[in-house]
A and B are shown apart, each in its own frame.
Chain A
């Protein structure tokens, strides 16, 4: 038995009157141009909601704290912490991403505390609780040296894994990501996300993800609470999130809760890893696509740590030469995180991320005047966790600034650019009220939008624009003893844009019912997106995005319905089934035109998305694998004014270019004699394509025209939009790696891989104007090395 860590361990605190907090919060005001908005009424209302429940618990004690790993001082997720009274009755909870646990409604008396985690020695202590006591008790677990082999954390698999999808939510852990074969010795989150059914990627190139029918700009991507606008690199294997910096990722393909808003489609909420609190270690890696390094370690043992990570592409020097195919892409990313634990009730971290992408999407053989796309993300944020000594509350304050710059056009003279930034301040609270976790939060954010669009997209303003948004949410989680557990998450999000005088009320609802081996889940919600990303999806190679506020009050809106079922069979087999429906309104899509130009006016469209997924996951001894199938239908309906003249209809329903109807992903991974062999096969049915009948010149005959002087303008003889389909996409990848301990402090990992093993000529897109077909990556053999300094 080991003592609790931290100077305040075991300290007992009394609950103070709530009134002191109310007076503090009443001073919260938000300044917006032209008005003074007070958030105090929202906060007051929320506290009043919570106060009765707090009083109801007045006699009960609360235990809470953080659980960390002795080896590195980092939080452990999914540790079961329980209290057993003298009658042998157990109460308990599991730690979250921050390693935080809490147990409420503890009657005064003597208890045995136990913290257990597979692969670690159990921690046992005896605690005495008095009435109203709020005890912060941090626990350090030590790895069980007697247990050999890889640690498999059963509690963790409960919520994570390829078949563990709960009402649209799939939680991804670094270990899951490492199973995916990539042409790099270090794994990347995006490789895993593209195996999720319903996620459609623009392919090996382009860096665009479409989640269950949503557009890339409708995905909310957060890293430690910071908004990352365009996080996926130009080469589809890479994102701003290498597994080296990743702690966990929650991917909501729909039906996300009230904490998240401002996007229509999905949420990818990624939490980064903190640096080792006990000792320094480092890693360097080299491979034909990317080389990189990481260093981390304590600045003050158990109090402060730092993690620095950086990668840079070496594609033109490496992969392009391997396959003798021009791959004119360059990207890099840098990540830094400073973690500070000043006391056991406080934690603070500062995270910074920068990414850079530059490439020539399209015909790599073209001359130097071809157009390049470039984007840069910059984000910095601070996260502060506070456990008020006298309240059973988990409080989180986030302050962040994010920025993206996007350019498109000839090198050095872009014809389009877009600069978008956001400053965000938010507070998220969880009150632990017995079987209810009462979550609520407030936020204010200000966005700056600036675009120069070269005379296109005429319907949108291109002036510098500032948009301020403030809001709040409540999302209690009620737990009931129905079956083996019923959790209901009703939620309400209120977003207001004072400068535009618009407010959205967004009800949300999630339900999870466990019944033995079975889990049923359901989610629904209403979502709005005031700030929209505009681009021309007619051109698959066009990844330029400009951000703007909605036009004339036509705010994009979505309604989600998600329902699912999970079954955990014996022998570590999991099965899940999920269906979904999204109703989309006021989407901005490109107007149809036969003039050969890459961008055009925008128009409004409505849409609907529906589909279903089936997933199976198997983990047996050295074997791990999963297979999934996704069916999805995406339909947009637009009502362009010219449609009656062209097609005799007032509305045109079509499948947008990301409508992939069928998807299959198969992954198999096996450990044999310290070798790890991975195989991944993916299949996607063809994406929509607009065929043309050919080209001619168009002469505007608006009366008598002198044909000797009027040459006409080149025209594309389009048929109906997106009536044809590209060929199916499929690819088989292999990887083989082995990690060798070359000394007590140095591990070397060697990896070999085959990407697109049977050299499938998967089309990225076909440039109608040049008739040049741009393929995805060919067969790429690759070797990589990684050296870990422990």
Chain B
């Protein structure tokens, strides 16, 4: 009995001694690339970063010729082959970028496909540029004097964007000034108004012109500048460009697969569009609100020059 047990033990040990002891912390995967891009309606050149998934933490030399990126405009069928370039960042990192000299149009959908030489796998992502909304500003008459003496002033305007794909990612509002007919414009940003809403693709905000005047007066000597107009810009992202929890938290987004629309890879390819609206008040309203008109500062001739610049 003892001999049998001893033999069994020795055999077990010998068997285990010869067993596999390899370990590979890198698991097999059919994902070969990570793509990051934001197709931008406002730029003439589009860029996409292609990051081949590698087995070491240290970056490795990438041969751009082994990779290819092609875009297909799914709205009009246009197909583009993108050019590659290696870029060296300030701290020495090298990135593989592909670019295409093209503008993307609002409402158009794009399929981006990246391939590697020798592999049948296609890493792809699809995105749609937000469509152009209808923009209105009401009322045109912005100022009313109130009170018995007529010295108190009340003024507001509501800006509405109708037909948005999502709540605006970014809203900017500014007042534009000129110090002289030939001087550069001075844009003074103001805070987002408290009265605003988004529902069913319709975003609106009511500008409190009196509050804005006070805020601007704190940063600019309005007597030395002529008010040329007001501007609103909305930056919108595509429908998939929504972080989990509503916050772009790097600790959340760093997890592979989080907010990713890439097939056979990781990362995200999104699209961004900006929609501006600029308008001006009549001269009476400008003066009542405590600003100077171009004519007040530059005279008629100067005012005409400035008006042409605005156009």
B233 to A: closest C-beta gap in Å: 13
In chain A, positions 700-751 with a C-beta closer than 8 Å to chain B are 700-705, 707-709, 711-719, 724, 726-728, 730, 732
Q: Chain A at the B interface: mostly helix, strand, loop or mixed? A: loop
Q: B26 touching A692 by the CB < 8 A rule?
A: yes
Q: Tell me if A301 is interfacial: C-beta within 8 Å of chain B.
A: no
Q: Tell me if B93 is interfacial: C-beta within 8 Å of chain A.
A: yes
By CB atoms of chain A within 10 A, which of B17, B21, B97 has the most? Answer: B21
Please name all residues of chain A whose beta carbon is closer than 8 Å to the beta carbon of B87 when the two chains form the complex. 708
Q: Tell me if B76 is interfacial: C-beta within 8 Å of chain A.
A: no
Please name all residues of chain A whose beta carbon is closer than 8 Å to the beta carbon of B52 when the two chains form the complex. 696
Taking A594-B254, A716-B57, A758-B13 as contacts, is the C-beta distance between A727 and B51 under 8 angstroms? no
Q: Tell me if B95 is interfacial: C-beta within 8 Å of chain A.
A: yes
Q: A594 touching B21 by the CB < 8 A rule?
A: no
Q: A695 touching B55 by the CB < 8 A rule?
A: yes
A interface footprint on B234-248 (CB within 8 Å = 1, 0 otherwise)? 010100010111001
Of B21, B26, B27, B36, which contacts A712 at CB under 8 A?
B36
Q: A694 touching B38 by the CB < 8 A rule?
A: no
A705 to B: closest C-beta gap in Å: 6
Of B19, B55, B57, B95, which contacts A596 at CB under 8 A?
B57
Q: Tell me if B153 is interfacial: C-beta within 8 Å of chain A.
A: no
Please name all residues of chain A whose beta carbon is closer than 8 Å to the beta carbon of B22 when the two chains form the complex. 727
Stretch from A18-26, A285-293, A363-371, A767-775 contacting the other chain? A767-775
Give Cα distance in the complex from A646 to B249, angstroms: 13
Q: B23 touching A773 by the CB < 8 A rule?
A: yes
B102 to A: closest C-beta gap in Å: 16
Q: A594 touching B255 by the CB < 8 A rule?
A: yes
Q: Tell me if A699 is interfacial: C-beta within 8 Å of chain B.
A: yes
Q: A696 touching B57 by the CB < 8 A rule?
A: no
Stretch from B131-139, B173-181, B193-201, B265-273 contacting the other chain? B265-273
Q: Which residue of chain A has the shortest Cβ distance to B243 in the bound complex?
A: A702
Q: A711 touching B93 by the CB < 8 A rule?
A: yes
Give Cα distance in the complex from A719 to B55, angstroms: 14
Q: Which residue of chain A has the shortest Cβ distance to B14 in the bound complex?
A: A758
By CB atoms of chain B within 10 A, which of A646, A681, A711 has the most? Answer: A711
By CB atoms of chain A within 10 A, which of B23, B87, B250 has the most? Answer: B23
Please name all residues of chain A whose beta carbon is closer than 8 Å to the beta carbon of B237 when the two chains form the complex. 703
Q: Which residue of chain A has the shortest Cβ distance to B55 in the bound complex?
A: A694
Q: Which residue of chain A has the shortest Cβ distance to B170 in the bound complex?
A: A703
Please name all residues of chain B whose beta carbon is closer than 8 Å to the beta carbon of A711 when the two chains form the complex. 89-91, 93, 95
Q: Tell me if B49 is interfacial: C-beta within 8 Å of chain A.
A: yes
B interface footprint on A670-709 (CB within 8 Å = 1, 0 otherwise)? 0000000000010100000111111111111111110111
Taking A695-B55, A717-B53, A760-B21 as contacts, is the C-beta distance between A681 and B266 under 8 angstroms? no
Q: Which residue of chain A has the shortest Cβ distance to B92 in the bound complex?
A: A711
Q: Tell me if B169 is interfacial: C-beta within 8 Å of chain A.
A: yes
Q: Which residue of chain A has the shortest Cβ distance to B89 in the bound complex?
A: A711
Of B13, B31, B53, B59, which contacts A732 at CB under 8 A?
B13
Please name all residues of chain A whose beta carbon is closer than 8 Å to the beta carbon of B84 when the two chains form the complex. none
Q: A696 touching B266 by the CB < 8 A rule?
A: yes
Give Cα distance in the complex from A596 to B57, angstroms: 9
Please name all residues of chain A whose beta carbon is closer than 8 Å to the beta carbon of B243 when the two chains form the complex. 702
Q: Tell me if B253 is interfacial: C-beta within 8 Å of chain A.
A: yes
Q: Tell me if A763 is interfacial: C-beta within 8 Å of chain B.
A: yes
Give Cα distance in the complex from A645 to B52, angstroms: 25
By CB atoms of chain B within 10 A, which of A689, A698, A727 has the most? Answer: A698
Q: Tell me if A118 is interfacial: C-beta within 8 Å of chain B.
A: no
Q: Tell me if A666 is interfacial: C-beta within 8 Å of chain B.
A: yes
Q: Tell me if B217 is interfacial: C-beta within 8 Å of chain A.
A: no
Q: A771 touching B56 by the CB < 8 A rule?
A: yes
Please name all residues of chain B whose beta carbon is closer than 8 Å to the beta carbon of A727 when the two chains form the complex. 19-23
B interface footprint on A620-647 (CB within 8 Å = 1, 0 otherwise)? 0000000000000000000000101110
Of A683, A692, A700, which contacts B25 at CB under 8 A?
A692
Give Cα distance in the complex from A694 to B95, angstroms: 17
Q: B23 touching A645 by the CB < 8 A rule?
A: no
Taking A642-B251, A704-B272, A728-B16 as contacts, is the C-beta distance between A693 and B49 under 8 angstroms? no
Q: B36 touching A699 by the CB < 8 A rule?
A: yes
Q: A701 touching B268 by the CB < 8 A rule?
A: yes
Q: Tell me if B48 is interfacial: C-beta within 8 Å of chain A.
A: yes
Of B21, B34, B169, B268, which contacts A697 at CB under 8 A?
B34
Q: B97 touching A707 by the CB < 8 A rule?
A: yes
Q: Tell me if A247 is interfacial: C-beta within 8 Å of chain B.
A: no
Q: Which residue of chain B has the shortest Cβ distance to A702 in the bound complex?
A: B248
Q: Which residue of chain B has the shortest Cβ distance to A645 in the bound complex?
A: B244
**Chain A residue total in the interface (Cβ 8 A):** 58
By CB atoms of chain A within 10 A, which of B26, B53, B237 has the most? Answer: B26
Q: A696 touching B55 by the CB < 8 A rule?
A: no
Q: Tell me if A593 is interfacial: C-beta within 8 Å of chain B.
A: yes
Taking A642-B252, A712-B51 as contacts, is the C-beta distance between A703 and B235 under 8 angstroms? yes
Q: Which residue of chain A has the shortest Cβ distance to B18 in the bound complex?
A: A758
B54 to A: closest C-beta gap in Å: 5
Q: Which residue of chain A has the shortest Cβ distance to B272 in the bound complex?
A: A704
A172 to B: closest C-beta gap in Å: 24
Q: Tell me if B37 is interfacial: C-beta within 8 Å of chain A.
A: yes
Q: Tell me if A761 is interfacial: C-beta within 8 Å of chain B.
A: yes
Of A694, A709, A724, A726, which contacts B29 at CB under 8 A?
A694
Please name all residues of chain A whose beta carbon is closer than 8 Å to the beta carbon of B97 when the two chains form the complex. 707-708
Please name all residues of chain B whose beta carbon is closer than 8 Å to the beta carbon of A691 when the two chains form the complex. 25-27
Q: Tell me if B40 is interfacial: C-beta within 8 Å of chain A.
A: yes
Q: B54 touching A763 by the CB < 8 A rule?
A: no
B interface footprint on A157-201 (CB within 8 Å = 1, 0 otherwise)? 000000000000000000000000000000000000000000000
Q: Tell me if A766 is interfacial: C-beta within 8 Å of chain B.
A: yes
Q: A730 touching B16 by the CB < 8 A rule?
A: yes
B103 to A: closest C-beta gap in Å: 14
Q: A689 touching B170 by the CB < 8 A rule?
A: no
Give Cα distance in the complex from A642 to B252, angstroms: 6
Q: Tell me if A654 is interfacial: C-beta within 8 Å of chain B.
A: no
Give Cα distance in the complex from A711 to B91, angstroms: 9
Of B13, B53, B245, B267, which contacts A694 at CB under 8 A?
B53
Q: B56 touching A695 by the CB < 8 A rule?
A: yes
Q: B235 touching A693 by the CB < 8 A rule?
A: no
Q: Tell me if B258 is interfacial: C-beta within 8 Å of chain A.
A: yes
A interface footprint on B91-105 (CB within 8 Å = 1, 0 otherwise)? 101010100000000
Q: Tell me if A468 is interfacial: C-beta within 8 Å of chain B.
A: no
Q: B258 touching A701 by the CB < 8 A rule?
A: no
Q: A714 touching B57 by the CB < 8 A rule?
A: yes
Please name all residues of chain A whose beta carbon is closer than 8 Å to the beta carbon of B27 when the two chains form the complex. 691-693, 719, 724
Q: Tell me if B47 is interfacial: C-beta within 8 Å of chain A.
A: yes
Q: Which residue of chain B has the shortest Cβ distance to A601 in the bound complex?
A: B251
B interface footprint on A440-481 (CB within 8 Å = 1, 0 otherwise)? 000000000000000000000000000000000000000000
Q: Tell me if A762 is interfacial: C-beta within 8 Å of chain B.
A: yes
Give Cα distance in the complex from A693 to B251, angstroms: 19
Please name all residues of chain B whose beta carbon is closer than 8 Å to the beta carbon of A645 when the two chains form the complex. 244-245, 252, 255, 258
Q: Tell me if B257 is interfacial: C-beta within 8 Å of chain A.
A: yes
Of A689, A696, A719, A763, which contacts B34 at CB under 8 A?
A696
Q: Tell me if B290 is interfacial: C-beta within 8 Å of chain A.
A: no
A628 to B: closest C-beta gap in Å: 14
B193 to A: closest C-beta gap in Å: 21
Q: Which residues on B are within 8 Å of A, measured CB to CB? A: 9, 13, 16-17, 19-23, 25-27, 29, 31, 34, 36-38, 40, 47-49, 51-57, 59, 87, 89-91, 93, 95, 97, 169-170, 235, 237, 241, 243-245, 248-258, 266-268, 270, 272
A-B contact pairs, 22 of them (CB 8 A): A592-B255, A642-B255, A690-B25, A695-B56, A696-B51, A696-B267, A698-B253, A698-B254, A699-B49, A701-B241, A704-B38, A704-B40, A704-B235, A705-B38, A707-B37, A707-B47, A708-B47, A708-B97, A711-B91, A718-B255, A727-B23, A758-B17
